[in-house]
Structure 1
Amino acid sequence: MIPLLQPLFRGDWSAYAETLVCAPAPADAIPVSALIGQPPLLQDVLAKQARYRRAHGTDLRAVASAWAMDYLWALLPGVVAAASVLQHRFAMAPDTLAVQFNAIGLPTAFYLRDEGKALPGSDTMARYGELLHGHLLPLFAALTAQSRVPRKILWGSAARYIEGILDQAQAQLGRLPGLLADRDLLLEQPTWPGGERNPMHARRRCVAQPDQAAPLALHRQCCLYYLLPGEDYCGACPLAPQFRPAALTAAPGG
């Protein structure tokens, strides 16, 4: 783990940041720029994932979506915590880090060239712009080209994880102005500075929960996980049969 993150990821939480390493990349690590720019490399990790998930045929949408969620969960906790809690930016451009994969095509470590830069008092995009525009945007485009998975699904997964990380930070540290400002711009605003559409912004439905006072906020996008062999809808899937408008209308009291 990068020493900067150790105060934020102690004990059981340390596993969420151990994937970020500031050290020379080993020989089997792949530059992220190569993963994005050389189709056979991405094809290989998706093929390994497909075999592991027992997904047959040519439709790789669900495989690519599931792989992207694992990639994001390996990358984002430390990066988002540094950006929003510490006001620190790690270099996220594809040519500045490499990723190491295991035998089933899942990322196990990201190797950064350096420990980044402290940016106290900076605006949200100064800390997140390289991650969003330089890293995730071309990665998602490459995944869509390989598998036809809609980009809105990939951005929906990114929003899901960023929201969860910021929620946990707020639960631990309180409603810090910087956390609230980052959350608002990244997730709640339909456009980003300059008028660019925010791909992580999407309207969410809330549904009543039996025996629960608070409604359940469904995910912005279905991740297609239910299409994988042996899997089902998650507990907050907007496509789950029990949450479809017709089912809610027909339910007692609906």
Structure 2
Amino acid sequence: MIPALLPLDPFLTGDYAAHRDSFAMAGVGEAGAGEAGVPLADAAAVGAALTAFTAPLGPARRVAAVSQWTKSYFAVLTVPSVAATLLLDCDLPLSPEGGITMVLGENGRPAGFRLPGDARPLGPDRLGTACGFTRFSGLIDDHLAAIIPVFATAGGVPQRMIWSNAADYLDRAARMLVPLASAWPGREAASAGLQSLLATPDRPDGSPNLLHEPVRLMNGLRTRKVCCLRYAMPGEDFCGSCPKRRRAEAARAARG
């Protein structure tokens, strides 16, 4: 864990314990067996990492494989990044051009990141705002807006599909961290800003918010708006928030 995130350590338990190791400082420790560092500023290297995972699964599963690979990426990225900005008033150095490196696990999926430096305090303009697009711009504009087009080009899929995966994990982070933030002083505006990222259809400049409402309730259960296609992967079933699964369940219930 990088030094700035140490105050979060007591809260990263259970399903979130793995986030202790999501981020490390570059040069601290070496990549383990089966891992490889991929500079995110190198679009060709990122594309090669994605292709190495998707190609063995064949063209029929390519879109599903791209979706699952990017889900792994956002799974390790999102909670620590959001927590740093929401709870600790700082940004991780996430800009691809700044030197961040992706670590791949033995299965070829993203497993973590090595950062070029420690987190940086938010400036006064971002500390005092209730606008989530401003407060969380380090994650959204500096990182997601830069890397998602690279994934889409390399995988040959629409950017909106990948944004939906990113938004799903942002929603998960909000569900975990907003209740936690209620016990930290002065988090009200930051929490409201985070939730607004998911509830607002347009950004402040009037452009579409690609993070808007990634999930909704169907039969009282959390359900993705866009299917992630996990069921199309070998040995996998519907994910816990699958809209196809929810519709099938509703159809069975209607038939009695």
CA deviation vs aligned residue, 1:169-204 (integer Å, no higher than 9, x gap)? 233342841343223331000011111210011375
User: Could you tell me which residue of structure 2 aligns to residue 143 of structure 1?
Assistant: 151
Which structure shows the higher helix fraction? 2
Answer yes or no: is 1:187 the counterpart of 2:220: no
Answer yes or no: is 1:48 the counterpart of 2:52: yes
**Equivalent-residue separation in structure 2 for 1:73 and 1:172 (angstroms):** 19
User: Could you tell me which residue of structure 2 aligns to residue 165 of structure 1?
Assistant: 173
User: Could you tell me which residue of structure 2 aligns to residue 83 of structure 1?
Assistant: 85
Answer yes or no: is 1:100 the counterpart of 2:103: yes
Q: Indicate the RMSD between aligned Cα atoms, in angstroms.
A: 2.7
Structure 1 runs of 4+ with >4 Å offset: 25-28
Answer yes or no: is 1:226 the counterpart of 2:234: no
Task: Among all aligned residue pairs of Structure 1 and Structure 2, give the percentage whose two residues are the same amino acid.
Answer: 26
Q: Flag the 1:148–1:3 CA change in 2: closer, same or farther, 3 A.
A: same
Report deviation, 1:80.
Answer: 0.6
CA deviation vs aligned residue, 1:95-114 (integer Å, no higher than 9, x gap)? 11112223332223312222
Q: Which amino acid aligns with 2:205?
A: G
Q: Is the 8 A contact 1:219 1:238 kept in 2?
A: yes
Q: Is the 8 A contact 1:29 1:101 kept in 2?
A: yes
Report deviation, 1:116.
Answer: 2.8
Q: For 1:233, what is the secondary structure of its paired residue?
A: coil
TM-score (normalizing by structure 2) = 0.81
**Equivalent-residue separation in structure 1 for 2:215 and 2:136 (angstroms):** 23
Q: Flag the 1:4–1:43 CA change in 2: closer, same or farther, 3 A.
A: closer
Q: For 1:46, what is the secondary structure of its paired residue?
A: helix
Q: For 1:110, what is the secondary structure of its paired residue?
A: strand
Q: Which runs of 5+ in 1 are unaligned?
A: 209-214
**Equivalent-residue separation in structure 1 for 2:250 and 2:19 (angstroms):** 39
Q: Is the 8 A contact 2:104 2:110 kept in 1?
A: yes
- Paired residues in the alignment total 239
Correspondence for 1:112 among 110, 115, 120: 115
Structure 2 matches for 1:20-59, cutoff 5 A? 20-24=23-27, 29-34=37-42, 37-38=43-44, 41-50=45-54, 55-57=57-59, 59=61
**Equivalent-residue separation in structure 1 for 2:152 and 2:165 (angstroms):** 14
Report deviation, 1:142.
Answer: 2.1
Q: Is the 8 A contact 1:45 1:104 kept in 2?
A: no
Answer yes or no: is 1:178 the counterpart of 2:189: yes
